[in-house]
Amino acid sequence: MKRFLRIFGRLLILMVFIGAAWLLYDRLKHYTFRQVWDAVTAISIWRIMAAALLTVLNYLILIGYDWFAVRWVGEKSLPLRKIALASFTGYAFSYNFGATLFGTSIRYRLYSAWGVSVRKIVDLLVILGLTFWFGVFTLAGVVFIAVPFRVPKHLKELNLPFEGTFWVGVVLLSLAAGYILISAFSARLSKLFAGRIPLPPLKLTLYQIAIACGDLLVAAAVLHTLLPPIEGGYLRILGVFMLAFVVAVLTHVPGGYGVFDALIIHFLPQHAGAQVVAALLVFRVIYYWVPLLIAGSMLGYHEIKLAGDPVDDEGGRGTTG
CA neighbor of 72 nearest in space, from 212, 213, 201, 210: 201
In a domain, 2, yes or no: no
Nearest-angstrom CA–CA distance, 215 and 55:
10
Task: Tell which wins on pLDDT, 103 or 252.
Answer: 103
pLDDT digits (tens, 9 = 90+) for 18-27: 655 555 545 5
Q: Which residues share a beta bridge with 164? A: 150
Helices (H), 98-228: 104-113, 118-146, 166-184, 186-192, 202-226
What is the full DSSP assignment across 63-132?
Answer: HHHHHHHHHHTT-TTS-HHHHHHHHHHHHHHHHHH-IIIIIHHHHHHHHHHTT--HHHHHHHHHHHHHHH
Of 114-118, 263-267, 283-287, minimum mean pLDDT range:
263-267
Q: What is the CA radius of gyration of the chain?
A: 21
H or E, element range at 60: helix 45-72
Inter-residue contact 27 to 266 (CB < 8 Å) = yes
pLDDT digits (tens, 9 = 90+) for 191-223: 444 455 566 778 888 888 899 899 999 999 999
In a domain, 25, yes or no: no
Kindly tell me if the per-residue pLDDT of 320 is higher than 50. no
Kindly tell me if the per-residue pLDDT of 2 is higher than 70. no
pLDDT digits (tens, 9 = 90+) for 25-57: 455 556 676 777 888 899 999 999 999 999 999
Per-residue confidence (pLDDT) for residue 80, from 0 to 100: 93
Kindly tell me if the per-residue pLDDT of 282 is higher than 90. yes
Number of domains observed in the structure of the chain: 1
pLDDT digits (tens, 9 = 90+) for 61-117: 999 989 988 988 888 889 999 999 999 999 999 888 876 667 788 999 999 989 899
pLDDT category, 287, cuts 50, 70, 90?
very high
Cβ partners under 8 Å of residue 204, min gap 6? 68, 72, 127, 131, 183
Inter-residue contact 121 to 107 (CB < 8 Å) = yes
In a domain, 56, yes or no: yes
Long-range Cβ contact pairs of 180-184 (< 8 A, separation 24 or more): 180/134, 180/205, 180/206, 180/209
pLDDT digits (tens, 9 = 90+) for 135-171: 889 999 999 898 887 766 655 555 555 677 788 889 8
Nearest-angstrom CA–CA distance, 263 and 242:
10
Task: Tell which wins on pLDDT, 148 or 6.
Answer: 148
Q: What percent of the chain has pLDDT over 90?
A: 31
In a domain, 318, yes or no: no
In a domain, 45, yes or no: no
Nearest-angstrom CA–CA distance, 17 and 11:
10
Per-residue confidence (pLDDT) for residue 29, from 0 to 100: 58
Inter-residue contact 54 to 222 (CB < 8 Å) = yes
In a domain, 4, yes or no: no
Nearest-angstrom CA–CA distance, 86 and 89:
6
Spacing of C-alpha 87 from chain mean position: 12
The domain of 85 spans 51-313
Per-residue confidence (pLDDT) for residue 317, from 0 to 100: 44
Please tell me which of 7-16, 22-31, 254-263 the model is most confident about, judged by mean pLDDT. 254-263
- Rounded to the nearest 10 degrees, the angle between the axes of helix 118-146 and helix 104-113 is 140
In a domain, 188, yes or no: yes
CA angle centred on 97, ends 93 and 103, rounded to 5°:
45
Cβ partners under 8 Å of residue 299, min gap 6? 89, 106
Question: In the chain, what is the straight-line distance between the N-terminal and C-terminal CA atoms, in Å?
Answer: 47
In a domain, 33, yes or no: no
Q: What is the three-class DSSP state of 228?
A: coil
Per-residue confidence (pLDDT) for residue 271, from 0 to 100: 64
Give the burial class of 275: count Cβ atoms within 10 A of its Cβ; 0-12 exposed, 13-18 middle, 19 or more buried: buried
- For the segment 286-312, the average pLDDT, to the nearest whole number, is 84
